[in-house]
Amino acid sequence: MARVILLNKPFGMLSQFTDKSTEGSARPTLSDVVKVPGVYPAGRLDRDSEGLLVLTDDGRLQARIASPKFKQPKTYLVQVEGTPDAAQLQALRDGVTLKDGKTLPATCEQIDQPDLWERDPPVRYRKTVADSWISLTIREGKNRQVRRMTAHVGLPCLRLVRWSVGDWAVEGLAPGAWREG
């Protein structure tokens, strides 16, 4: 039976077990919070993204979760600069053309501010610029895709939280905490 671990990856943590950078100071990695041998991340989350990261010891399951060919739905809660209008939301739903091609259609809606953990460091706040939240579900995984999609429609991303992958969700997990899936 495959082992599945659901981790709430904190902002600033690498989605790998070792830091191969030459920047001098060690950056936080998965090995700082997951002390389970033989599991590996199924996909990635950028260092400046937070939320659900699925780890497993099953290579086939890892491929089914991470590979775009299986079209596993991944839902993100995205804090954006500005307030989306109907045309911006529809463009995200239809798919947008990025430098590396058109994205698949997505599910997208504006939502109320979700009840999330505090981010460290906090998202910058500007009195003169409104921000809002959208829920965006994609079925592929181009590099920094959600950030590029929202920027493309004029809604720069301020905070990006992966809420779910398939049937797994991060609900109830504090940053850095994990549970068996």
Q: Annotated catalytic sites, by residue? A: 46
What are all long-range contacts of 37-40, with beta carbons under 8 Å and residues at least 24 apart? 38/3, 39/3, 39/5
Rounded Cα gap, residues 3 and 173, in angstroms: 18
Rounded Cα gap, residues 169 and 21, in angstroms: 30
The two beta strands, 74-81 and 50-56, are unpaired
Rounded Cα gap, residues 11 and 31, in angstroms: 15
Rounded Cα gap, residues 176 and 8, in angstroms: 5
Kindly state the tokens that stand for 50: 């937070």
Kindly state the tokens that stand for 100: 């590396």
Rounded Cα gap, residues 163 and 54, in angstroms: 11
CB atoms within 10 A of CB 116: 16
